[in-house]
Amino acid sequence: MDKVGIGIIGCGNISGAYLKAMTEFFPILDIRGLADLNREIAEAKAAEFNLAARSIDELLVDPKIEIIVNLTVPKAHVAVGLQALDAGKHTYSEKPLGINFAEGKKLADAARSRGLRIGAAPDTFFGGGHQTARALIDQGVIGIPVGGTATFMCPGHERWHPNPAFYYEVGGGPMLDMGPYYITDLVNLLGPVSQVAGFAITPRQERIITSEPRNGEHIPVHVPTHVAGVMAFANGAVVQIAMSFDVAGHKHMPIEVYGTEGTLIVPDPNRFTGPVEYLRKGGQFEDLPVTAPYADGNFRSIGVADMAYAIRSNRPHRANGDLALHVLEVMEAFHVAAAEGRTVKITTATERPAPLSDSLVDGKLAK
């Protein structure tokens, strides 16, 4: 199968994980250059992975590049994505798809009108633990899905990130930053969301960075930093969710799914790996074997590889624009519900991504 040319725009903190996985696991991806507004950052990252640093314009006009991978900050996702589409390239971005639903829809509509593909992280739901949980639900192991919980709560990313200010700008906050992992995985497990209710607060108007090199700097907060609510799914399940940058610690599992016949503990959706636990009604929790591939490493960029194989095979890709736009609408709905004191109906529809029962390509494990 012919390789697919890749151009990467944005060489910040997350780019290393993408490049490591792309170069180690997915030979269909031909990385033809890295670009960043800061040329020195692009050159340093390119040298680290023995790749070429190029300008954004050079990537956009390269006829051998078919997919632009957009790893810029959230507020630039749509602008860079539109540039890529205008250049005739498919585009795959870090999460979220856009900083609001209107922007995300603009990108999705532009791709559709041009006959091009868009996709977005997270792709962690491809991981072996999440795919194993999906298969168990599909097999009816928990009975009829009833509900669940999704929980991410921490004191804030300013503890560890070298440049954390964007987490507190519009397009950031715990819901748009961490919510994509949890909500995308729940759509993978249960299907689309039909309506949302929620509350959101901002306990502090500024944060103090404690990581280097900006230790001690004060940054303003422009978004809610503690969001809690409920998602009603089209299949009837009701899931509670809490996303916070204001909690010192907690004992909740990342994702629990409840059914009439049992309960599943699903791995952390920010990881590909992790145990799957099952409690049969009347029994005790037990670890179940993880039977799906991609369960023993960090495969971040597998969504790009799946898009590449899908282009070559003329099939849908899993981390697609419809899924990312649906998740973006759900996340924004929590803020709307909180601000307006009402339940918000979700207007977008999406299919559950195809299960990754064997691999990315024709039943053969892509290595």
DSSP string, 257-320: EEESSEEEEEPPTT-S---EEEEETTS-EEEE---SSS-SS--TTHHHHHHHHHHHHT---SSB
CATH number at residue 236: 3.30.360.10
pLDDT of residue 10: 97
pLDDT of residue 363: 47
pLDDT of residue 357: 72
Contact 359, 365 (CB under 8 A): yes
Same domain, 66 and 33: yes
pLDDT of residue 364: 53
Query: Which residues, listed in sequence order, are joined to residue 35 by a DSSP beta bridge?
Result: 9
Same domain, 224 and 263: yes
pLDDT of residue 262: 98
Dihedral over Cα of 133, 139, 140, 141: its sign: negative
Between CA 348 and CA 330 the distance in angstroms is 9
Residue 69 counted as domain residue:
yes
Same domain, 172 and 226: yes
Query: Which residues, listed in sequence order, are joined to residue 228 by a DSSP beta bridge?
Result: 199, 242
Provide CB contacts within 8 A for 102, sequence distance 6+: none
Average pLDDT of each block of 10 consecutive residues along the chain (367 residues)? 95 95 96 96 96 97 98 95 98 97 98 98 97 97 98 95 91 94 98 98 96 95 97 98 97 97 97 95 94 92 96 95 98 97 97 83 55
pLDDT of residue 55: 97
Same domain, 10 and 108: yes
Same domain, 63 and 171: no
Same domain, 304 and 244: no
pLDDT of residue 159: 94
Same domain, 254 and 280: yes
pLDDT of residue 361: 72
Count: domains in the chain = 2
Same domain, 160 and 145: yes
pTM, two decimal places: 0.95
pLDDT of residue 37: 92
Same domain, 133 and 213: yes
Same domain, 11 and 158: no
Domain of residue 213, residue span: 128-288
Same domain, 110 and 149: no
